[in-house]
Amino acid sequence: MDLPVNPPIAPMLAKATTGIPPQPADQPEWSYEPKWDGFRALLFRDGDEVVIGSRGGKDLARYFPEIVDAARDELPDKVVLDGEIGVPSLIEGTHRLDWDSLAQRIHPAASRVTMLSETTPAIFIGFDALALGTTSVLAEPFTTRRDTLLEAIGPGGRDRRFHVSRVTESPVRAQEWFSAFEGAGLDGVVAKRLAGRYVENKREMIKVKHKRTADCVVIGYRIHKSGTGLGSMLLGLYHDGQPRMIGGASAFTDAKRIELQEMFEPMRLDPDKPAAGEPTRWRSEKSGQWIPIRPELVAEVAYDQMENGRFRHTVKFLRWRPDRDPESCGYDQLEVPLTYDLHDVLEGED
């Protein structure tokens, strides 16, 4: 490639805070935008050559051929963009970003990649620009990079794969987005300094994500991949009198893993024969093995979002709730986000 900014490039990162940074009264300092929950991607186009770099440096182009084709059709001949790849789906009558469908796009079989690119096509939502034509804008303020982004992608439309993220300089509007846009599958709000330059691999941005807690019944566990201790505890919520699996909690210390396995062992429903859990997008049939236990323990966990009746991401164990009746742990305790269509987010006025 012969671009003013060539791969590999490490993306600029964000640090988490608990609230949206306020805007100074005298002069605006921040630009706010929705936090898109997809695959972070740096896209490089030099004529017919297109590279899509992940945050970890992996080339995603082979997994998203429809994005590669659209880059050639919709973008300038030489351009470098920063953004997010997502898969829109119609979920309960509302278009939103579908994390499960997106995760399934990473597959080793070329035939399946082709099939998924047609059945669950992705979009690219640009939120920054690094170069256009023969000019690098890495050292330019975000206001200039934003203008470059708009010039590169142009007006959006439902028939296009490339879109531009909305922005606002109003913290009040950003707070409204934080609540309302979650229904479209978004993950919070990001703030960027208007005068800030693009800095590789540095946490120069601010992100505010949704954080909530839920009381769940522990319905099983998996053994750690080392063969010693607990790898993850499986969580459920009651629906129509039966616990329904909604996700898992992991990331325990070595000592805690052993402690939890010793706690759960006497509660096994079948001490001699582990049950095979349904494989997930991250696990094969073999690694999907899990051991069911009596649904007697209630754990309070921290989570960010729900999707299709399950936690979108792995949750964090907080504490035990011996005061809770397991059968009282239902879906009614969960905060339901406002319904907001993805196309309204992409096409609405800033």
Active-site residue list: 35
Phi/psi zone of residue 251: left (φ > 0), alpha (ψ -120 to 50 degrees), beta? left
Quick one: which of 127, 182, 174 has its CA closest to 20? Answer: 174
Both tokens of 12, joined, read: 């600029």
Listing DSSP states for 151-192 in one string gives HHH-S--TT-SEEE---BS-HHHHHHHHHHGGGGTEEEEEEE
CA distance 238 to 331: 7
C-alpha to C-alpha distance for 176 and 350, rounded to whole angstroms: 12
Burial degree of 40 (CB within 10 A; 0-12, 13-18, 19+): middle
Lookup: tokens for 93: 């009558």
- CB count within 10 Å of CB 239 equals 13
Phi, psi of 325 (to 5 degrees): -75, 125
Q: What angle do CA 84, 189, 247 make, to 5 degrees?
A: 75
